Amino acid sequence: MKTFKIGGIHPPENKLTEGNSIEVLPIPSELAIPLLQHLGKPAKPVVKAGQRVKKGELIGEADGFISANVHATTSGTIKAIKSHPHPGGQYAPTVFLESDGQDEWLDGCNTEPQDWQSFSKEDILNRIKAAGVVGMGGAGFPTNVKLAPPKDKVIDTVILNGAECEPFLTSDHRLMVEEPEGIIEGLKIITSLFSTPVKAYVGVEANKKDAIEALAKYASSYNFEVVQLETKYPQGAEKQLINSITGRKIQEGELPFDKGCIVNNVGTAFAVYEAVCKNKPLIERVVTVSGIEIQAKKNLKVIIGTMFSDIISACGNIPGTVNQVISGGPMMGKAQYSFEASIIKTSSGILFINNEGLDTSRERTCIRCGKCVEACPQELQPWLFTNLAQRREFDELPAYGLFNCTECGSCTYVCPSKREIVHWIKYSKAIVNNRKKRKSA
């Protein structure tokens, strides 16, 4: 069984919904579709209030190289375009769409599957771009850009990430069990984009035996390898996944293509399949609704723009003992301040946590135990970042690899002094970046 070589932890898995089949959430009467669902600039709105749109119609156009299209997720009338709470924690420009209940597709969208092998590489990339496909594992990087690395980079390895190492989350797990053929077809499309012979893998943690079996049934036809990975956090982090499967190590300042690798989430591969073969834009995704407190724990197929409040209503509401709502997993997800935030392309789950699931111990002084160093998969010294940041010696931090930190949270999880290490790292990165901008202005 393969795994990465340095650091890592094994928190309680709490995969409470791993056996729950994907259910389709009914379309809400009103949707709030953010124009920022990806890395880079928000999309530019191309619709106006009062305009009628069909499902799959473009409502936000990619604004620049690192941006992505946004589409209507059902048919109806545009009610407004305004700033609205975003699951990332900020406010973002958002298109409000009132459903007409017809759910009428735009002509030419969501067709019967087509034979993509007659398409040119340019056609395939254009279809992925037009569909607004972005990385669905959390980063939201535009997929058409990732799949077109610089010409001097030789890609010999394509990896699909099916690790889903965050506790509670099972949305990728269920997609692998229920849609393995589409995922493998998406992988086949991705590998076709590279001229050199490419070895393709799907990395899946060992706690998902049924997913491994389902994928292997289709992968073997194309000589793709489904790799069983040790159940260990953060197995699904891009650098750790590459190290686990190939043994290659991504150094600070390098990107995967510098080591000949391209990594995509299994959900992204499925979206690529639907975009290329069915001309279907990315307008829906599977979301895990879990946590100790929510009454009905589910894996839901949800259209983009569905507000958290509608999902909560569909899952039987929440008791008053819930203390925190998290978008994503408990290790890297973001605490929410509004139930009016909505599902976006990178939303893998919504968790409802009470005080029993939260460590509310008071932060204490570092005791130099070294546990954060042992847990860090990037071979960093997290305690040092915190100490320097608390002394406001921010300019010292980059020399110790500040920007090589992936903010996985392993250090904070193991710290016996309950120091908010990741908080200080994020804060330090923001300070250092702002100082750089001021110097270059």
84 beta partners: 92
Handedness of CA 209, 210, 212, 216 (dihedral sign): positive
| Residue 277, marked binder | no
Taking alpha carbons only, the member of 241, 269, 235, 276 closest to residue 256 is: 241
Taken in order 11, 16, 17, 20, the sign of the CA dihedral is: positive
Helix orientation angle between 171-178 and 209-219, rounded to the nearest 10 degrees: 40
**Alpha carbon distance 10, 187 (integer Å):** 29
d(CA 268, CA 286): 12
Alpha carbons 108 and 278: distance in angstroms, whole number = 9
Cβ burial, residue 122 (10 Å; 0-12/13-18/19+):
exposed
The stretches of 196-260 forming alpha helices (DSSP H) are: 209-219, 238-246
Number of H helices, E strands in the chain: 12, 17
Give the CB-side neighbour count of residue 251, counting CA atoms within 13 A.
2
Residue type, 5: K
Q: At what angle do helices 180-191 and 171-178 cross, to 10 degrees?
A: 90
Q: Is 405 annotated to bind ligand?
A: yes
315 is in an annotated binding site: no
Consult the annotation and say whether 165 binds a ligand: no
Distance CA 225, CA 230 (A): 16
Would you say 380 and 323 are in contact if contact means Cβ atoms under 8 Å apart?
A: no
State yes or no: 261 annotated in a binding site.
no
Q: Which helix (H) or strand (E) holds 60?
A: strand 58-61
- CA-closest candidate to residue 353, choices 378, 377, 329: 329
Please give the radius of gyration of the chain, using alpha carbons only, rounded to the nearest integer: 21
Say if residue 109 carries a ligand binding annotation.
Answer: no
Task: Name the nearest CA neighbour of 175 among 284, 290, 266.
Answer: 266
**Cα(267)–Cα(253) distance, integer angstroms:** 27
For residues 75 and 104, give the distance between their C-alpha atoms in angstroms, rounded to a whole number. Answer: 5
Binding site for [4Fe-4S] cluster: residue ranges? 366, 369, 372, 376, 405, 408, 411, 415
Residues that constitute the known binding site: 366, 369, 372, 376, 405, 408, 411, 415
